[in-house]
Structure 1
Amino acid sequence: MDFTWTSDQVALREKARTVAEDAVNKYGRFNDTWMNGYSREFSRELAKHKWIGMTWPVEYGGGGRPPIERLIVGEEMISAGAPIAASWFADRQMGPALISYGTKAQQDAFLPQMLSGETTWCIGMSEPNSGSDLASLKTFAARDGDEFVINGQKIWTSFGELADYCYLICRTSSDGSPHEGISEIIVPMNTPGIEVRTIKDMTTNSHFCEVFYTDVRVPASNLVGALGGAFKQTMRQLEHERGGIDRLVSNHALYKMALEQADRKDALVRQEIAAL
């Protein structure tokens, strides 16, 4: 098997590195940039390079490009610390989720603004007593005519304060097993009844948020996919979230920063570095 980069891939990496370095000069450098580095202006620049939705099918406005090309661009952006968070979640999973499960009306309404870098999305998943066990979530959306009325609380919602939309994972029924009755609903974050509180972590970052929903009304047409049958949809979405390059490359950027501070004249330190 040939692992040599093609000339096009080399050129793409060089271009991405140049764009990333320029972004750092203009907007600043961030660690874990895909969730800490927020700049809508830079997301618009990414869109002009057609680096949002690179792997999405062409018929949905995407680039139809191989995943390795998105990985190349993502690696250079995150390694440099360029602020890609404003469009990262939508690019990584919200867009693919709507392509897989959304209606044509939803795709027409939301995908173009994702691709242009104009909208930021957050994910309403974890709750105070429901983290990894998604089936135990309590936030409830009750059907009332042609609307859902949502009540509950989410936590660790990255960019809840700045997002235009939340892709909300909630319960629409308490009947059956815990994995049943879960639905996915698009919630505009300017809807009355939503309260967002930022959480500052020990590194002073504040992208995490608590989001409270009190009698929040959204159109029933904002339901994505199957009513009460979205657990499988969410698991598919998590493949995009947990299986991507973002966390791995974030560690590499932190490694390079630590390397600059290491005493590499010390043989024991060099040995520890080599072991990594």
Structure 2
Amino acid sequence: MDFTWTPEQNELRERARKVAEGGVERYGRWNDCWMNGYSKEFSKELAAEAFIGMSWPKEFGGGGRPAIDRLIVAEEMIKVGAPIAATWFADRQMGPALIQYGTQEQADRYLPEMLAGDVTWCIGMSEPNAGSDLASLSTKAERDGKHFVINGQKIWTSFGAEANYCYLICRTSSDGPPHAGISEVIVPMDSPGITIRKIDDMTTNEHFCEVWYDNVRVPVDNMVGAEGA
């Protein structure tokens, strides 16, 4: 097996390095930049270079490139501390989740603005009394007609204060074993009933947040994939 970089990959690495260095020059250098380096302006520049959604299928607007190409770009960005956090979760997790499990309507609604670098997504997973043990989570989404009514609390939600949307992991049923009845719902972060508090860590970073959901209503159509699956 040949592990030598191809000429195209070397060219991609050089282009990514120049973009990354330019981002640091304009917007600053960040340690753990995929978590701390937040710049919506740089997200637009990444989009212009087609560095968002590189490995997504072309039929969903992505680049259709192998995962190693995305890794090359990410390596150059992280190496110099370029501020890539504003699009990191959407590119790495939310977009692929919608491509794999979402409806066509969800893909049409959310993927283009991810690819354009227009939006930031966060993940509502950890809870104060559960950590990242999802089988123990207690945040609930209960049906009320064509809506879910969400109540509960999340913690360690990176960029909860800046995000446009949360990919919320919540309980839609208490029947069966603890790991059953857990669903994934898209929640606009400007929804009434959401309260956000930033958490200052010992390094003075503020990307972590506590988020409270108090009778937050979202359409049932915002569920990603099958309920409880």
Give TM-score scaled by structure 1 length.
Answer: 0.82
Distance 1:6 1:152 in 2: 50
Structure 2 runs not aligned, ≥5 long: none
1:39-70 Cα offsets, whole Å, 9 max, x none, are 01101110010000000000000000011110
Correspondence 1:121-140 to 2 at 5 A: 121-140=121-140
- Cα deviation for residue 109 of structure 1 reads 0.2
Aligned to 1:11: 11
- Matched residue SS, 2:97: helix
Corresponding position of 2:72: 72
CA distance in 2, matches of 1:226, 1:11: 42
> Is the Cα contact below 8 Å between 2:195 and 2:212 reproduced in 1?
yes
How far apart are the structure 2 equivalents of 1:132 and 1:199?
A: 17
The whole-number CA distance in structure 2 between the counterparts of 1:198 and 1:9 is 39
For 2:111, the equivalent position in structure 1 comes to 111
Give the Cα–Cα distance (whole angstroms) in 1 for the partners of residues 8 and 156 of structure 2: 39
Aligned-partner SS, 1:174:
coil
> Number of paired residues?
229
Question: Following superposition of structure 1 onto structure 2, how do residues 33-112 of structure 1 map, counting pairs within 5 Å?
Answer: 33-112=33-112
SS in 1 for 2:55: coil
Please state how far the C-alpha of 1:119 moved relative to its aligned partner: 0.5
Q: Indicate the residue corresponding to 1:218 in structure 2.
A: 218
- Which sections of structure 1, spanning at least 5 residues, go unmatched? 230-276
Runs of 4+ in 1 over 6 A off after TM superposition: none
CA distance in 2, matches of 1:130, 1:114: 30
SS at match of 2:129: coil
CA distance in 2, matches of 1:223, 1:66: 29
SS at match of 1:127: coil
Q: CA deviation at 1:129?
A: 1.1
TM-score (norm. length: structure 2): 0.99
Name the residue aligned to 1:232: none
SS in 2 for 1:218: strand
AA at the equivalent of 2:192: P
Measured in 2, the distance between the counterparts of 1:149 and 1:58 equals: 35
Q: Within 5 Å, which residues of 2 pair with 1:138-177?
A: 138-177=138-177
Deviations 1:220-246 (A, max 9, x none): 1001101111xxxxxxxxxxxxxxxxx
Q: Aligned partner of 1:60: which letter?
A: F
Q: What are the residue-to-residue correspondences of 1:212-251 with 2, within 5 Å?
A: 212-229=212-229
Q: 2:189 and 2:149 mapped to 1: Cα distance?
A: 14
Separation in structure 1 between the aligned mates of residue 132 and residue 168 of structure 2, nearest angstrom? 16
In the TM superposition, residue 18 of structure 1 has moved relative to its aligned partner by 0.8
AA aligned opposite 1:13: R
Deviation by residue 1:152-210 (Cα, 9 ceiling, x = unmatched): 00000000000000000000011100011100000000000000000010111010000
CA apart distance, 1:132: 3.0
Q: 2:56 touches 2:62 (CA, 8 Å); kept in 1?
A: yes
Q: Distance in 2 between matches of 1:77 and 1:39?
A: 13
Equivalent-residue separation in structure 2 for 1:107 and 1:13 (angstroms): 29
Partner AA of 2:51 in structure 1: W
What amino acid is the match of 2:110?
A: F
Deviations, residues 21-54 of structure 1 (Å, cap 9, x unaligned): 1100000000110010000110111001000000
Q: CA RMSD in A?
A: 0.5
Percent identity over the alignment is 72
Superposed, 1:261-272 pairs within 5 Å as none
- Give the match's secondary structure for 1:175: coil
8 Å contact kept, 2:158–2:207 = yes
